[in-house]
Structure 1
Amino acid sequence: MKPATWRADLVAGAVVAVLLIPQSLAYAMLAGLPAQVGLYASLLPLLAYAALGSSPVLGLGPVAVLALMIAQALAGLPASVGAEAGALVLAAEVGLLLAAAALLRLDALASLLSVPALRGFENGATLMIAASQLPVLLGSAAAGFTLPDLAASALHGGWGLRSAAWGAAAVALLLLARRAGSRLLMRLAPLALLVAAMALSALTPAGRGVAQVGALPALSLPLGLPPLQGALWWQLLPSAALVALMAFVSSLAVSESLAQRRGEKLLPAAELRGLAAANLVASLTGGMPVAGSFSRSILLHEAGAHSRWALVFVAVFMALAMALLAGPLAHLPKPVLAATIVVAVLGGFSLQPYREAWRYAPAEGLLMAAVSVTVLAWSVGAALALGVAGSVALLIQRTARPHVARIGRVPGTHHFRNVERFAVECRPEVVGLRIDESLVFTNARGLADVVLAHVREHRAQVGAPQRVLLLMAPVNHIDVSGLVALQELHAALAAEGLRLEFSEVKGPVLDRLRAVGWLERHDVSLYLSHHEGIQAGEQALRPSQADLDAPGQL
């Protein structure tokens, strides 16, 4: 490693560790776990990802959205099972599921959640996380992972004036740091606030009557296997599957966006392996499920990280923090820790994605809002299920009917455009159509109906046609369902005395058609260009053998 690269990675590691320390503590508390669990999850899992992952700037560790999911998963455990034990099992299952996905090359699973569903989930979780910390800020005993549960619990609990004062002061100071305009101050503010709060609580009477983190055990890595209880593993498996999906999708979204900015190549399969290893290591070292954080990843990028050695340096600085913070952390007021969570998560919330999605595609905007509401009113598991089901349903709905445009020649050119958008010339004896997508099982059934509708329209507006010429350039693939649909279209057109012809068929598509002798068997003419096909006149020309033998030119 060059000295300049080494220094840049060292500085980036130190800067990110400053942010990771308070976040590790806060997100462990959010998940209902002891504070030290967050520190454990930020140490050796980073080294595991650095060894197997592909992104040099993915800030791995505890994250807010996963913490909320973990809290909901652990809330259903019997009293005989501790939350820490449940977190270890959950991390192990997440790691094993991601490892299985990597082994089976299932990195395409990231596409199960569309961007609207993912943003709706993240925004809903953001609001729920902030709402769940309000009782801690106010010193209330209220608790819950949905707004109805939280509201019902709040009716039976009061609030503490001292806790509210600590929480309000912490929120105000963090907001002032954000508005100061200095990125350095904004990044250092959470850690500085925690240090000041610990000192004030330990050295003055100000911390009396305020809930504190409390004495921590010696911060030494508790190496060992997670509990091997079959019933516990089976109970947590559904939650682990959701956490694994969310961890991979959100981490991949972060690392891909930064890879594009940096002009680097990202390997989704390597990301799966890295995340799997990190979670497995977390389960062996007293941690909790981990994923990539957008805020920490951006910070690594902006701090100038060049390689995954930056993640190693983050782990080194986290080890130093573990050695130095065991005593002082006992005096940290919980309202201050809650304030760092609320300000951090709400800083990334915006209504703009909802407005943009609604204006661009109302159905996707509605899905985004529905996923957010489900997080707030029901559960994160139901919201993820809705997001996946909604994304697949919208895909099927969009592709249920192939888009076929009737086209004509732009006067004075050889270009052909949609008759509904341009002033074009159409010849009465031929119906020119452009198929704008691949023909696959989701849309193939509607092909004949769409084409016949355009034929009737052409007959009414231009004249009686003798042939139908399909411009196939946009078609990248035809599966067996698409092939059957073309056969049905050929039969339907023949029943009306019309001939089917193709133009500009791509080489790979033509190779498949030739493999089964489809063109010859159905006597379908083939043209190198749509203009050539239009000009062929009433008597369509059969494709020459030279044309059929040179698919790469089509």
Structure 2
Amino acid sequence: MPDPHPPRHSALREDLLAAAIVSVLLIPQSLAYALLAGLPPQVGLYASVLPLVAYALVGASSVNAVGPAAVLALMTLQAIAPLAGQVDPSVAAVVLAFEVGLLLALAAVLKLDALAALLSAPVLQGFSVGAAISIALSQLPALLGSPAHGVHLRALLRSWWEAAQAGPAVHLATAAFGLGSLALLLLARRHLQALAARWLSRDMAQLVARSAPLVVIAAAIGLAWALAAPSHGVAVVGRLPTLHVPLGLPMLDAGLWLALLPSAALLALVTFVSSFAVAERLGLQRGEHVDGRRELAGLAASNLVAGLSSGMPVGGSFSRSALNADAGARTRWAGAWTALFLAIAAVLLAAPLAWLPRTVLAATIVVPVLAAAEWKAFGFAWRYSRREALLMGLVAAITVLHTAEWALGVGVVISIALMLQHAARPHAALIGRVPGTEHYRNVERYATELTPGVLSLRIDESLLFVNARLLPGLVARRLDAFPDTRRVVLQMTPVNRIDLSGLEALSTLQSVLRERGIRLDLSEVKGPVLDGLRAAQWARWFTGRLYLSHHQAVRDEQGMAP
């Protein structure tokens, strides 16, 4: 575990080393993700300089490597594509980044970091797989040299069919570069680390494996130059403009801002959830606590600065953050050094990068996104909960066939519906005493003893408006099987909250039982719940008794005054 308070010179040295490593990886990634978003490649560089400095100043994680990311690039593409022909994509991307920053800043001010819970695990995992498939499909034309394009599968297939009618669907020279790079990257991901570990330490072997894309890119640049690839129809990155990071306010067009606002809201949510998950996971490994509200502020600052510096929406990247941690980053300032090194490298490497085939950049996108997708989650979810597995599959399918916005929106709505459906059907277990103990368990799962005249029920949900009206009926059905009941004792251990509807349900239940000559008692009520009941002056109408333990309630026929 890293020292949380390392000497300043030691932290600086290790931050510089980590920044040098990450910046080399970030250059091709920033170019590739800009192209994935349908933007000029230099936009990715702009989004990888000043936003990193902003996060270093405000953010929470010492290793979260902020910058362009594959999923965010896909969502950016789908957000700005409908505006094609109305506004320049780069202008729309700037507005989108600024809106994302504003929404994240508002969430930080209002302490809304708990909103991350809106994206449940099935939604996130389904979206991860669907986004990986969508990104891979979107890069297939670039890999094969086809002019086809599309923001989702339906549009891509339609575009490919139209392109096939006009000419060859595959450009052989481009496909040779793209598929060759893809094969090398796949082989390196699967075998290079194990091969390097024969001669190098584990950490060095891992570093060599992660550097494989750089070697492939360098080889592709050299081969493209030697073969004069552009003269054979292979599209290359081309000359990058001078890296001067243009500064300025986004276009102040109310119509454009309103059109992009729904996409910005979902982008902000995905940016925070994915970035915070990365920061939290790596923070736990390093013994660091990552504050959610401060992480919101850091991501807000980086996106606002991206909007002010002609960039695109940015967020934390798991692959870069993991590399940053493995390389020994100690503080957030490793991100600022990364930005500096990237700017220097972009200037020094501008000439060779101009020869980089775009199809190779497509290959560098496809391999990591397919590897990062949570494919095994489907099998685990199917074994654990079929409903959630179906939700996961639905989100993945909508992501591929339509857009990320619709997939996430439908996923959130269905997740809430499933939660409400579960809460609306509270489980009231009949419980009895485990012989020889003071423990009470469900009679359908354990061998238990029942006390004559006492009906013991455990309420397994909070009593809220979605389920409270069912409580009297649940108890009445149990009473039908025990006509000699004189007391009903509700074990309230699982009940975390009782709202006004739940309070009225308790009052109704007591009235129904009183008419049948049965007393209602409660046991093991939690402190916060009891505080709420007392604040509502429930003693004015509640005539039963309150017990500290359920065993005491069952055994004490005389009762105990609250």
Same fold (TM over 0.5): yes
Distance 2:13 2:430 in 1: 61
Q: Counterparts of 1:476 and 1:256 in 2: how far apart (Å)?
A: 27
Q: State the alpha-carbon separation in 1 of the partners of residues 273 and 414 from structure 2.
A: 16
Q: CA deviation at 1:374?
A: 0.3
**Is 2:252 the partner of 1:252?**
no
Farther-moved stretch of structure 1 (364-373 vs 431-440) = 431-440
Equivalence map 1:112-261=2 (5 Å): 112-157=118-163, 158-178=169-189, 179-181=191-193, 182-207=205-230, 208-261=232-285
Q: What does the per-residue CA deviation read over 1:202-238, in whole Å, with 9 as the maximum and x for residues that have no partner?
A: 2433443101112221111111111122222122112
Deviation at 1:350, TM superposition (A): 4.3
Aligned 1:72-111 pairs, distance under 5 A: 72-111=78-117
C-alpha distance in 2 between matches for 1:113 and 1:93: 20
8 Å contact kept, 2:53–2:339 = yes
**Distance in 1 separating the partners of 2:66 and 2:537:** 54
How big is the alpha-carbon RMSD for the aligned residues of Structure 1 and Structure 2? Answer: 1.6
Letter in 1 for 2:208: L
Determine the structure 2 residue equivalent to 1:551: none
**Among candidates 306, 312, 328, match of residue 336 of structure 2:** 312
Q: CA deviation at 1:520?
A: 4.8
Q: Secondary structure at the match of 2:455?
A: strand
Runs of 4+ residues deviating >6 angstroms: none
TM-score by structure 1 length?
Answer: 0.94
Are the structure 2 counterparts of residues 13 and 454 from structure 1 closer, same or farther at C-alpha, using a change threshold of 3 Å? farther
* Equivalent residue in structure 1 for 2:70, among 57, 64, 67: 64
Hey, what's the Cα distance between the residues in 2 that align with 1:428 and 1:174?
72
Paired letter, 1:253: A
Q: Percent identity?
A: 54
The match for 2:324 is 300
Q: Distance in 1 between matches of 2:388 and 2:120?
A: 9
SS of the aligned residue for 1:155 comes to helix
Q: Return 257-266 or 328-337, whichever deviates more.
A: 257-266
* Distance in 1 separating the partners of 2:462 and 2:351: 64
Equivalent residue, structure 1, for 2:378: 354
**How many angstroms does 1:473 deviate by?**
2.1
Contact 2:507 2:541 in 1 (8 A): no
Closer, same or farther: CA 246–350 of 1 in aligned 2, 3 Å? closer
The one-letter code sitting in structure 2 at the alignment partner of 1:447 is L
Which residue of 293, 310, 332 corresponds with 2:356? Answer: 332
Per-residue deviation at 1:80? 4.5
Partner residue, 2:196: none
Q: Which amino acid aligns with 1:32?
A: G
The match for 1:541 is 559
The whole-number CA distance in structure 2 between the counterparts of 1:297 and 1:442 is: 42
1:371-520 aligned at under 5 Å gives the runs 371-457=395-481, 459=482, 464-520=484-540
Q: Is the 8 A contact 1:408 1:432 kept in 2?
A: yes
Are 1:525 and 2:559 an aligned pair?
no
Provide the C-alpha distance between the structure 2 equivalents of 1:151 and 1:237, rounded to a whole number of angstroms: 28
How many angstroms apart in 1 are the aligned matches of 2:252 and 2:140?
Answer: 36
8 Å contact kept, 2:27–2:346: no
Query: How far did 1:133 drift?
Result: 0.5
Output the amino acid matched with 2:256. Answer: L
Distance 1:395 1:8 in 2: 46
8 Å contact from structure 1 (residues 177, 185) kept in 2: no
* 1:138-192 alpha-carbon deviations (Å, 9 max, x no partner): 0001111111211122123221000010011111111222121242222111122
Question: 3-state DSSP class of the match of 1:331?
Answer: coil
One-letter amino acid of the structure 2 residue matched with residue 33 of structure 1: L
Q: For 1:443 and 1:301, how far apart are their aligned partners in 2? A: 47
Relative to structure 1, is the Cα distance of residues 258 and 493 closer, same or farther in structure 2, using a 3 angstrom cutoff?
A: farther
3-state DSSP class of the match of 1:91? helix
CA distance in 2, matches of 1:151, 1:320: 41
Which letter maps to 2:74? L
Q: Distance in 2 between matches of 1:485 and 1:255?
A: 44
SS in 2 for 1:407: strand
Structure 2 residue ranges without an equivalent (≥5): 1-6, 164-168, 194-204
The one-letter amino acid paired with 2:213 is: P
CA 1:141–1:450: 2 relative to 1, 3 Å: same
Q: Please give the per-residue CA displacement for 1:505-548, whole angstroms capped at 9, x wherever unaligned.
A: 222222222223313522120112111111122xx4241xxxx5
In 1, the alpha carbon distance for the partners of 2:114 and 2:532 equals 25
Q: Could you tell me whether the CA contact under 8 Å between 1:59 and 1:311 is conserved in 2?
A: yes
CA shift for structure 1 position 444: 1.9
Distance apart, 1:63 and its partner CA? 0.7
Q: Which TM-score applies when normalising by structure 2?
A: 0.93
Aligned equivalents of 2:466, 2:20: Cα separation in 1: 51
Task: Look up the SS of the partner of 2:546 in the other structure.
Answer: strand
Give the C-alpha shift of residue 474 in structure 1.
Answer: 2.3
Paired AA for residue 450 in structure 1? L
Q: Is the 8 A contact 1:401 1:447 kept in 2?
A: no
Gaps of 5+ in 1: 549-554
Aligned residue-pair number: 538
Mapped to 2, the partners of 1:239 and 1:281 lie a distance apart of 19
